[in-house]
Amino acid sequence: MEHHADFAITVSRKLDVETSADPGDGKPAIAGRVIALGWWVDSGTAHDPEHVASGTLYLVADQRRTRPYWVKQSDLTAIRLVE
């Protein structure tokens, strides 16, 4: 499933990640520099406002691919802050 963020901010620090996310293009799992941090919110229905789902996403620029991908936080396998 392709993820998308409802809200996002630019990541100004150099943050590299490895993930288990596989977009199905025959290449290794997505890995690279995080360029944005985003959130998605699913407020449910007007009849059930208590069931609000949300999550954190990372927009990863993988040099092996032609575009960045949103990766959910639970797919992160390694993270490194580059000084």
Alpha carbon distances (Å) from 60 to 54, 56, 67, 76, 80? 19, 13, 9, 11, 13
Structure tokens at 80: 């490194």
Q: How confident is the model at residue 52 (pLDDT cuts 50, 70, 90)?
A: low
Q: What is the pTM of this model?
A: 0.84
Domain ranges of the chain: 7-82
More confident residue, 55 or 8: 8
Q: How confident is the model at residue 64 (pLDDT cuts 50, 70, 90)?
A: very high
pLDDT of residue 71: 95
Q: What are the pLDDT digits (tens) for 6-47? A: 899 999 999 999 999 999 999 999 999 999 999 987 766 556
Does residue 55 contact residue 75 with C-beta atoms inside 8 Å? Answer: no
Question: Which class would CATH give 7-82?
Answer: mainly beta
